[in-house]
A and B are shown apart, each in its own frame.
Chain A
Amino acid sequence: DQQVKQNSPSLSVQEGRISILNCDYTNSMFDYFLWYKKYPAEGPTFLISISSIKDKNEDGRFTVFLNKSAKHLSLHIVPSQPGDSAVYFCAASDGNTGKLIFGQGTTLQVKP
């Protein structure tokens, strides 16, 4: 039973437009939700997180929204740039152990 799911394996957007990546979860006890970006042959890079008691967090071009009633979070990238092309993972954190549970990932392609 997968606790964190990314249902879209891929997404393609035009440079300058908005990219929206989605993630669903099942466990209401997670304390933080996070987004990671991964390029081939590199480790995942932390992008942005949100506390379970918040509904929005913004950092430059990246904004994460949390809808607790729907158990859904999304990452908005505005404006999208070709360098944003990568695999994006959402993850949920267990507050006691710090363990992360990851979604399957979404491959974002930003076309020039």
Chain B
Amino acid sequence: DAGITQSPRHKVTETGTPVTLRCHQTENHRYMYWYRQDPGHGLRLIHYSYGVKDTDKGEVSDGYSVSRSKTEDFLLTLESATSSQTSVYFCAIRGTGSGEQYFGPGTRLTVT
């Protein structure tokens, strides 16, 4: 258990509304990541953070922004949700061993 929680676990929202997903970790890891999982695509990186206020884009960052104001929290924001952002979102932290990351339980987001 890497001490990662995600909130909310499920959310249904309407097209055009803003949505913020939260990832919280308790073990002071420097690196945090947001992925989305869609059928046929595996997991794809949205954004990642390498420290407080230090973030960078992943391969599917369009339509998403992130913020990290303290080590334990990494927020993912959909400024104006679209149906194509219906997905399962996973947060992860970087381990200290052999390249591994540890994942949270996920947030299922449905945009109607």
Give residues 1-25 of A contacting B (CB, 8 Å). Answer: 4, 6
Tell me if A100 and B101 are in contact (CB < 8 A).
Answer: yes
The total of chain B residues at the interface (CB under 8 A) is 29
Tell me if A51 and B45 are in contact (CB < 8 A).
Answer: no
Q: How distant is B47 from chain A, measured CB to nearest CB, in Å?
A: 10
Tell me if A102 and B99 are in contact (CB < 8 A).
Answer: no
Contact of B42 among A31, A45, A89 (CB under 8 A): A89
Tell me if A93 and B105 are in contact (CB < 8 A).
Answer: no
Q: Does A63 contact B (CB under 8 A)?
A: no
Chain A residues in 8 Å Cβ range of B95? 46
- For B69-103 the 0/1 string (1 means CB < 8 A from A) is 00000000000000000000010101101111111
Tell me if A98 and B105 are in contact (CB < 8 A).
Answer: no
Q: How distant is B45 from chain A, measured CB to nearest CB, in Å?
A: 6
Tell me if A49 and B100 are in contact (CB < 8 A).
Answer: yes
Chain B residues in 8 Å Cβ range of A42? 105-106
Give residues 41-66 of B contacting A (CB, 8 Å). Answer: 41-45, 48, 50, 56, 58-59
The total of chain A residues at the interface (CB under 8 A) is 28
Tell me if B103 and A98 are in contact (CB < 8 A).
Answer: no
- For A70-104 the 0/1 string (1 means CB < 8 A from B) is 00000000000000000001010101011111111
Tell me if A98 and B99 are in contact (CB < 8 A).
Answer: yes
Tell me if A104 and B41 are in contact (CB < 8 A).
Answer: yes
- For B11-46 the 0/1 string (1 means CB < 8 A from A) is 000000000000000000001010100001111110
Q: Does A60 contact B (CB under 8 A)?
A: no
The residue of chain A having its C-beta at the shortest distance from the C-beta of B98 within the complex is A49
Q: How distant is B21 from chain A, measured CB to nearest CB, in Å?
A: 14
Given the contacts A43-B106, A44-B90, A98 and B101 also touching, CB distance less than 8 Å: yes
Given the contacts A31-B99, A49-B100, A100 and B105 also touching, CB distance less than 8 Å: no
Contact of B44 among A34, A43, A51, A102 (CB under 8 A): A102
Chain B interface residues (CB < 8 Å from chain A): 4, 31, 33, 35, 40-45, 48, 50, 56, 58-59, 90, 92, 94-95, 97-106
